[in-house]
Amino acid sequence: MGSIRQNKIEAVIQAELSTFFQRNASEICLGAMVTVTIVRVTSDLSYAKCFLSIFAGPEKEKVLANILVNKGKIRGEVGRRLKNMRMIPELTFHIDDSMDYAMKISELLKK
């Protein structure tokens, strides 16, 4: 569990990323619906690990690859929105497969 400051920064980055992905769905997300499920910031605020759920579009890996190609642009946009932060954390993106895992467990339990 992080500090209160870390938690606030995580929430703000999550909100900004969500807004960014909604606005740029066709270009950055290749038309897929991308939801930012979790953001974890390191204690020194230099890295932010962002977990994404990707629905209704091309393959998840293809969408993630395009997001990674545009990582600099995404970080720059988030940085412009978070003017009061001295340093914008380096963003890393990962597919959040917890929903797939939960559905798999649910299917197994039905058997």
Range of the domain at 75: 4-110
The pLDDT of residue 1 is 60
Asked if 52 and 96 touch (Cβ cutoff 8 Å), the reply is: yes
According to DSSP, the residues that pair with 91 across neighbouring strands are: 48
47-55 and 90-95 beta bridge pairing:
parallel
Residue 24 sits in a domain of what CATH number?
A: 3.30.300.20
> What does pTM read for this prediction?
0.85
Instruction: Please state the domain count of the chain.
Output: 1
Mean pLDDT for back-to-back runs of 10 residues, the chain (111 residues):
86 95 91 93 94 88 94 92 86 87 83 77
Q: Six-digit token pair at 53? A: 């759920």
